[in-house]
Structure 1
Amino acid sequence: MSLRDRPASVAASAPRAIIDIGSNTVRLVIYGGPPRAPVVLHNEKVTARLGRGLAETGLIADKAAAQALAALARYAALLRIQGIKSVDAVATAAVRDAANGPELMERIRALGLKPRLLSGEEEALASAHGVQAAFPGAHGVVADLGGGSLELVHVDPTGCEHGASMPLGTLRLPALRSSGPAAFRAAVRRHLSAAGWAGSQQQPLYLVGGSWRALARVAMQRDRWPLDDPHGYELTAQSAAALVKALRANKPGKGPAGAGALAGVPAGRLAAMPDAAALLEVLLQELAPTRVVFSSWGLREGVLLAGLERTALQEPPLLAGIADFAAARGTPPPLARQVADWTAPAAGEPADEPLRIAATMLALASFRAEPNRRVTEALDWALHKRWIGASAQDRAMLAATALANAGKTDLPPVLLQLATPERLRQAVGWGLAIRLCRKFSLCAVEVLEKSELVRSAQGLHLSVTPDLAPLVTESVNKHRRNLAQWLSLPCP
């Protein structure tokens, strides 16, 4: 099938809302954008701490319940005013474990909401589905750390299994650690064993939850990582072990991490950081993961995407997200796909096709910006916008493609921190091919349909119908030769 025959998945759905009634926070997130790559339109939370003191009393405190209900009343009013009909409210560990949880659920229903109480296994599976949606082909263990519980579940491309929930949330960890490091490790190991999670896994460990992401931000600043989004950030098991060893014994802002290393971490996460680090240290010892990957997608996204058909979930989220982004900036995805089809002789490996199409969309969209802002905005979009499904190397290739499309083949050093020289060279070839297409055709559909870029042992040629011959000027031929030279082809 030709690229120009493929439909563009950019149809934005009606806004959808997820209300997450967690043990630590009660949060409302409103999503828009394409179903496969939803974007956050609104995100607010109240730190009600429904799970505080639950282990000692078995009850949700009246003050915490009142805070949660006030927040939920506001959320219900906002959703009614905004006319948002698709609302999924879910409650997790605190409401599940509390003796007065059913009473709270009734009071939530009285607000006009329809909350679902997730079992521990359902909570684990929802988080796993969110990770699978964010990382197509994910294979490993998902660990979702919330205020009341820790969920573990195994994922692979065929599905997920062995979901378990343990009372190891951030609100419970201080009490567990109060008896000392040895007792804490023994307690965590007992919970892992009871849930059937004892023993080495030798697989990637995907970490979900705000406390884990706070650790990621410390590591990113420690390592002077050039990206600012913790989603998709990876650590080797050894690097993660060194990080948590330094953090678990220190107060926030003190010790080896240093106060500067905690810049940008929400204040509410600082106090819990040593506890989260101590828990991760035990998980690293017991599960023996090959690497650690941080995910910003988890339970809420898993619930949100649960209704999508399997075929829709198989679409690359990066492609869906950039298609929607480019369309909003005057670059219709069908046209960008046609340009990608025309430039295919410079493409390289077929396995790179989704990334190359996404790079083409972003590069063309950057030329809708002011001329003096094109390079700056292209770099900013590629490196700092949250692209679900994009690795650090993918981001660098998106940037290199856009820069080459603007005539910049001397890449900034930051890109070499993220991708190999070979991959960057390939991406520059994509960008030079897009540049040739623009200079020759202005990306006019009529011209693209009546011309062809031909690659052969003799070099790189433009094949055009007679009426298009005037378009093939010396300037166009210069761009063709530049591309051929970059691809190490003859330059006739």
Structure 2
Amino acid sequence: MNHSKSEGRFGIVDLGSNSVRLVVYARAARSPVLVFNEKVLCGLGRTLASTGRLDPKGIERALAALQRFVALRSQIGIDTLIIAATAAVRDAEDGPEFLQKAEKICGFRITLVSGAEEARLSAQGVLSGIPDADGVVGDLGGASLELVGVGGGKILNEGVTLPLGPLRIMDVAKGSLSEAEAIIDKAFKSVGLLKEFQGKRLYVVGGVWRNLARIHMAQRHYPIHVLHEYVIPANDASDLAKVIERLGPKSLAQIPDISERRVDTLPVGALILDKLISTMKAKDVVISAYGLREGILFDRLNKREQAKDPLIEGARDLANRLARFPEHGNELPGWTAPLFAPDVIGETPAEARLRQAACILADIGWYVHPDYRAHQSMTQILLAPFAGVDHPSRLMLARTLYHRHEGRGEPELIGDLAGLLSDNENYRALVLGLALRLAFTLCAATPGMLPRTRFEIDKSTITLVVPPRYESLLGEMVNKRLSALARAINRKPATRIGR
């Protein structure tokens, strides 16, 4: 992969075994912002196992999709476009012939990704979106399954590529699930890393498995409709997979949010997941919205960009779009820090990171009616395309912004998710939210003032110190919000004019 960095719009066409997809990002960055995404389910690998060749109808659909995607390059203004072909194209007898036709359409060389490179890029993509991933990455395409061990922010082995994509298995098994099961069992027996990583998490990539996660969300009436880092307990995932395996096409087609063209691959995809969970005795299944394409993008970044925190970068991007003064994101972490000093509330590095993200996002709901700012802010956080944040942490950020606008109280939007956070996490969200509420009242939501004020906190009192030039800005509303914060940390409120 080319390691130069793209400053303009960055596009990737993924010529997969089941789908051909174009994704366009605003630029190649640590927290990539998606500006366009289109997928065509072509089924290139549908006949690969039985004929050794690409599916004729799939070829037609794929070349037509590619024609449109290349035309969109100038329409959208894509500065850098990478086209990557994976398992079906590399394994098919007529793969070179297909590539020749495809390259004639696009006018430049297409990257044919090897099995080992596909495994590496998929794992790199997952790590770029879930930096603390620890277990096995499984990327299920139409014609292959890539498995790679990850941990400590790194790829731990070369991984393996198995010919276990749903399209390929369906072609061999001719609709027999028992035959499909035998094929999968035989393939997994030779995979040592599944034993090596027994009991760890399974991080899954691929459209079939994302559809299974949507079904699980719907069953639970789960209100955070973000698939990235959605966690399914291993037993739940296996039970769901077994149900899907037994359903016929008509029953599957009636399930909301399931693409009709995914219906035929769902049972085999569910079977593969079930076998994978049982073979590695997975603790739970974590959905990753990041995979091969994000791995390709991450490879384009320089080392400095790669080292950035995806959550903080994503928060900054959202604040730059929605906040009145994004500079508050630089002022508020230091201003709120005394509340979380070791002798007051205290915080771990992970908690400090979430506090920084909350401070950056603190004013993203300002532009709606005051009565709806809390709800709007929470919704933005719960649905934002952030990476590097699990669902409980996302919920804590949302709850913090609720308290920033509403003070005390219980947000109805959270509903049954209240139990995702511990009492301590709920308390931390309340304290930080009340501090942010005070901050925006004190400075009238303008930058530059807060760094000139500070908290002094001892065992009995929290004192807001304000320089003489700002003394007249102290008033009833500031005192009211300081008092609310003081009650939350079991102190008495006080103000002092000083430097």
**1:41-60 Cα deviation digits (max 9, x unpaired):** 11112222111111111112
- Specify which of 339, 342, 346 is matched with residue 339 of structure 2: 346
1:485 aligned residue:
487
2:223 aligned residue:
226
Given that 1:245 and 1:281 are in contact with CA atoms closer than 8 Å, whether structure 2 keeps it comes out as yes
CA distance in 2, matches of 1:316, 1:29: 22
Give the C-alpha shift of residue 453 in structure 1. Answer: 1.8
**CA 1:56/1:370 → structure 2, altered by over 3 Å: closer, same or farther?**
same
CA distance in 2, matches of 1:182, 1:171: 16
The alignment of Structure 1 onto Structure 2 pairs a total of residues equal to 478
Given that 1:404 and 1:432 are in contact with CA atoms closer than 8 Å, whether structure 2 keeps it comes out as yes
CA distance in 2, matches of 1:437, 1:210: 44
Amino acid of the structure 2 residue aligned with 1:236:
P
Give the C-alpha shift of residue 23 in structure 1. Answer: 0.7
CA distance in 2, matches of 1:93, 1:307: 22
**1:135-165 Cα deviation digits (max 9, x unpaired):** 0121110111111111111111252123211
- Specify which of 132, 139, 145 is matched with residue 137 of structure 1: 132
CA distance in 1, matches of 2:250, 2:435: 49
Asked if residue 72 in structure 1 is aligned to residue 74 in structure 2, the reply is no
CA distance in 2, matches of 1:168, 1:405: 50
CA distance in 2, matches of 1:245, 1:235: 15
Amino acid of the structure 2 residue aligned with 1:349:
E
**Which runs of no fewer than 5 residues in structure 1 stay unpaired?**
1-11
Relative to structure 2, which stretch is displaced further, 211-220 or 347-356?
347-356
1:132-211 → structure 2 map (5 Å cutoff): 132-160=127-155, 161-178=157-174, 181-197=177-193, 199=195, 201-211=198-208
CA distance in 1, matches of 2:382, 2:116: 36
CA RMSD in angstroms comes to: 2.2
CA distance in 2, matches of 1:437, 1:45: 45
CA distance in 1, matches of 2:176, 2:120: 32
CA distance in 2, matches of 1:485, 1:21: 58
- Specify which of 11, 24, 28 is matched with residue 30 of structure 1: 24
**1:100-143 Cα deviation digits (max 9, x unpaired):** 11111122222213210011111111110110011012111011
**CA 1:290/1:123 → structure 2, altered by over 3 Å: closer, same or farther?**
same
CA distance in 1, matches of 2:453, 2:227: 44
**CA 1:195/1:238 → structure 2, altered by over 3 Å: closer, same or farther?**
closer
Give the C-alpha shift of residue 317 in structure 1. Answer: 1.1
1:115 aligned residue:
110
2:343 aligned residue:
none
Given that 1:34 and 1:321 are in contact with CA atoms closer than 8 Å, whether structure 2 keeps it comes out as no
1:94 aligned residue:
88
- Specify which of 273, 283, 292 is matched with residue 285 of structure 2: 292
Give the C-alpha shift of residue 327 in structure 1. Answer: 0.7
CA distance in 2, matches of 1:242, 1:189: 18
Asked if residue 334 in structure 1 is aligned to residue 327 in structure 2, the reply is yes
**CA 1:75/1:183 → structure 2, altered by over 3 Å: closer, same or farther?**
closer
**CA 1:113/1:369 → structure 2, altered by over 3 Å: closer, same or farther?**
farther
**1:78-101 Cα deviation digits (max 9, x unpaired):** 113433221111000111001111
Relative to structure 2, which stretch is displaced further, 105-114 or 138-147?
105-114
Task: Tell me the TM-score normalized by structure 2.
Answer: 0.90
- Partner SS state of residue 475, structure 1: helix
Give the C-alpha shift of residue 63 in structure 1. Answer: 3.1
1:268 aligned residue:
261
**1:358-414 Cα deviation digits (max 9, x unpaired):** 212222121233324312211211212222122111121111111111124212352
Amino acid of the structure 1 residue aligned with 2:210:
R
CA distance in 2, matches of 1:169, 1:411: 46
2:10 aligned residue:
16
**CA 1:26/1:180 → structure 2, altered by over 3 Å: closer, same or farther?**
closer
Amino acid of the structure 2 residue aligned with 1:483:
L
CA distance in 2, matches of 1:158, 1:42: 29
**CA 1:114/1:408 → structure 2, altered by over 3 Å: closer, same or farther?**
farther
Given that 1:89 and 1:113 are in contact with CA atoms closer than 8 Å, whether structure 2 keeps it comes out as no
Given that 1:90 and 1:116 are in contact with CA atoms closer than 8 Å, whether structure 2 keeps it comes out as yes
Asked if residue 432 in structure 1 is aligned to residue 430 in structure 2, the reply is no
CA distance in 1, matches of 2:221, 2:323: 35
**CA 1:175/1:110 → structure 2, altered by over 3 Å: closer, same or farther?**
closer
**CA 1:371/1:303 → structure 2, altered by over 3 Å: closer, same or farther?**
same
